[in-house]
Structure 1
Amino acid sequence: MGATSGAIATPHHRATAAGRAALDAGGNAIDAALAAAAVLAVVYPHNTGVGGDLVALVHSPDGEMHAVNATGWAPAAASRDRALAEHGEAIPRRGAAAVTVPGAVRGWEALAHLGARLSRRDHLRDAVTAARDGVAVSASLALCLAGEWATLTDPSFRTTFGGREDGPLRRGDLLRQPRLADTLDELARSGYGSFYAGALAERLVTALAARGSEVMAADFAEFAVDSAAPLARDWRGMRVHTLGPNTQGFALLRTALAVESDSAPDPLRIARLFAEGNLLRDTRLGDPRRTRVDVRALIEDAVDLAEPELVPDPRLARGDTIGVAAADAEGWAVSLVQSQFHLFGSGVHDAETGVLFHNRGYSFVLDDEHAPGVLAPRARPAHTLMPVLVTDPGGGVRFVQATMGGKAQAQIHAHLLLHLARGATASETVSAPRWTLGPYAPGDRSDAVYAEADVEDAVVQRLHDAGHPIVTVPPLTEMLGHANVVRRTATGFDAAADPRSDGAASVS
Structure 2
Amino acid sequence: MADRPARNPRATRSVVHAPNGMVASSQPLASAAGLRILLQGGNAFDAAVATAAALTVVEPMQTGLGGDMFALLYNQKNKKVEALNGSGRAPQKATRDFYRSKGFSSMPERGILSITTPGTVDGWAEILEKHGTMTFAQVLAPAIEYAEKGFPVSEIISNQWKREEELLRATLAASETFLLDGRAPREGELFVNPRLAATLKAISAGGRDAFYKGEIARKIAAYMEEHGGLLTYDDLASHSSTWVEPVSVTYKGHRVYQLPPNGQGVVMLNILNIMEQFDLSSMLHNSADYVHVLAEATKLALADRDHFICDPAFSTIPLDQLLSKEYATARSQLISMDSVIKEAGPGLEMKSDTVYFTVVDKDRNAISFINSVFDGFGSGIVAGDTGIALQNRGSGFSLEEGHLNQLEPGKRPLHTIIPAMVTKDDQPFLSYGVMGGDMQTQGQVQVLLNLLEYGMNIQEAGEAPRMRYLDHELALESEFAGSVRYGLIEKGHKVVSLVDCFGGFQGILIDPKTGMLQGGSDPRKDGCAIGY
Q: Given the two structures, how large is their TM-score scaled by the length of structure 2?
A: 0.87
Bigger Cα displacement from structure 2, 271-280 vs 150-159: 150-159
1:403 aligns with 2:419: no
Query: 1:403 deviation in Å?
Result: 2.2
Q: How many residues align?
A: 484
After superposition, give the CA deviation of every residue in 1:320-367 in whole Å (9 maximum; x if it has no partner): 00001111231310000000101110000123211110100011111x
1:89 aligns with 2:105: yes
**Distance in 1 of aligned mates of 2:457 and 2:476:** 22
Contact 1:4 1:23 in 2 (8 A): no
1:31 is aligned to 46
1:164-179 matches, cutoff 5 A: 164=181, 166-179=182-195
1:260 is aligned to 276
Query: 1:249 deviation in Å?
Result: 0.5
Query: 1:277 deviation in Å?
Result: 1.8
Structure 1 SS opposite 2:381 = coil
Query: 1:241 deviation in Å?
Result: 0.5
Structure 2 SS opposite 1:172 = coil
1:377 is aligned to 409
1:291 aligns with 2:315: yes
Contact 2:95 2:409 in 1 (8 A): yes
2:478 is aligned to 453
Query: 1:308 deviation in Å?
Result: 5.1
Q: 1:329 to 1:260 in 2, by over 3 A?
A: farther
**Distance in 2 of aligned mates of 1:53 and 1:195:** 14
Aligned sequence identity (%): 30
Contact 1:437 1:447 in 2 (8 A): yes
Candidates 406, 421, 425, aligned match of 2:452? 421
Query: 1:87 deviation in Å?
Result: 4.0
After superposition, give the CA deviation of every residue in 1:433-471 in whole Å (9 maximum; x if it has no partner): 111101xxxxxxx22011101035554333222111111
User: Amino acid of the residue matched to residue 433 of structure 2?
Assistant: A
Contact 1:55 1:385 in 2 (8 A): yes
User: Amino acid of the residue matched to residue 60 of structure 2?
Assistant: P
Candidates 301, 306, 309, aligned match of 1:277? 301
**Distance in 2 of aligned mates of 1:186 and 1:151:** 28
Query: 1:47 deviation in Å?
Result: 0.3
Query: 1:259 deviation in Å?
Result: 2.2
Where do 5+ consecutive residues of structure 1 fail to align?
310-316, 439-445
1:314 is aligned to none
Contact 1:163 1:170 in 2 (8 A): no
Q: 1:39 to 1:4 in 2, by over 3 A?
A: farther
Query: 1:162 deviation in Å?
Result: 2.2
After superposition, give the CA deviation of every residue in 1:44-93 in whole Å (9 maximum; x if it has no partner): 11100000000000001032111110110001122101112214112222
Q: 1:457 to 1:114 in 2, by over 3 A?
A: farther
Structure 1 SS opposite 2:382 = coil
**Distance in 2 of aligned mates of 1:4 and 1:159:** 44
1:485 is aligned to 507
Structure 2 SS opposite 1:406 = coil
1:129 is aligned to 145
Q: Given the two structures, how large is their TM-score scaled by the length of structure 1?
A: 0.91
Q: 1:172 to 1:308 in 2, by over 3 A?
A: farther
User: Amino acid of the residue matched to residue 485 of structure 2?
Assistant: V
1:361 is aligned to 394
User: Amino acid of the residue matched to residue 316 of structure 2?
Assistant: R
**Distance in 2 of aligned mates of 1:455 and 1:22:** 41
Candidates 132, 154, 166, aligned match of 1:150? 166
Candidates 329, 332, 350, aligned match of 2:362? 329
1:343 is aligned to 376
User: Amino acid of the residue matched to residue 398 of structure 2?
Assistant: V
Query: 1:35 deviation in Å?
Result: 0.8
Contact 1:251 1:299 in 2 (8 A): no
Where do 5+ consecutive residues of structure 2 fail to align?
1-17, 284-289, 335-339, 345-351
2:67 is aligned to 52
Query: 1:4 deviation in Å?
Result: 9.1
Structure whose alpha-carbon radius of gyration is higher = 2
User: Amino acid of the residue matched to residue 483 of structure 1?
Assistant: F
Candidates 489, 506, 511, aligned match of 1:464? 489
User: Amino acid of the residue matched to residue 174 of structure 2?
Assistant: F
**Distance in 2 of aligned mates of 1:186 and 1:31:** 18
Contact 2:275 2:297 in 1 (8 A): no
1:120 is aligned to 136
1:293-332 matches, cutoff 5 A: 293-300=317-324, 301=327, 302=330, 307=342, 320-332=353-365
User: Amino acid of the residue matched to residue 396 of structure 1?
Assistant: Q
Structure 2 SS opposite 1:362 = helix
Query: 1:141 deviation in Å?
Result: 2.7
Contact 2:296 2:341 in 1 (8 A): no
**Distance in 2 of aligned mates of 1:250 and 1:92:** 26
**Distance in 1 of aligned mates of 2:303 and 2:159:** 31
Query: 1:306 deviation in Å?
Result: 7.0
2:223 is aligned to 207
User: Amino acid of the residue matched to residue 72 of structure 1?
Assistant: G
Following superposition, which runs of at least 4 residues in structure 1 exceed 6 angstroms of deviation? Answer: none
**Distance in 2 of aligned mates of 1:72 and 1:506:** 31
Q: 1:306 to 1:433 in 2, by over 3 A?
A: closer
Contact 1:65 1:230 in 2 (8 A): yes
User: Amino acid of the residue matched to residue 342 of structure 2?
Assistant: E
Contact 1:4 1:25 in 2 (8 A): no
**Distance in 2 of aligned mates of 1:87 and 1:145:** 31
Query: 1:397 deviation in Å?
Result: 0.9
Q: 1:456 to 1:295 in 2, by over 3 A?
A: farther
Q: 1:286 to 1:19 in 2, by over 3 A?
A: same
After superposition, give the CA deviation of every residue in 1:411-452 in whole Å (9 maximum; x if it has no partner): 0000111112133212111111111101xxxxxxx2201110
After superposition, give the CA deviation of every residue in 1:166-211 in whole Å (9 maximum; x if it has no partner): 3332222222111110110111111123211122211121122222
Structure 2 SS opposite 1:480 = coil
**Distance in 2 of aligned mates of 1:298 and 1:45:** 36
Query: 1:150 deviation in Å?
Result: 2.0
RMSD (Å), alpha carbons: 2.0
**Distance in 1 of aligned mates of 2:480 and 2:87:** 34
Contact 1:495 1:505 in 2 (8 A): yes
Q: 1:460 to 1:279 in 2, by over 3 A?
A: same
Bigger Cα displacement from structure 2, 84-93 vs 382-391: 84-93
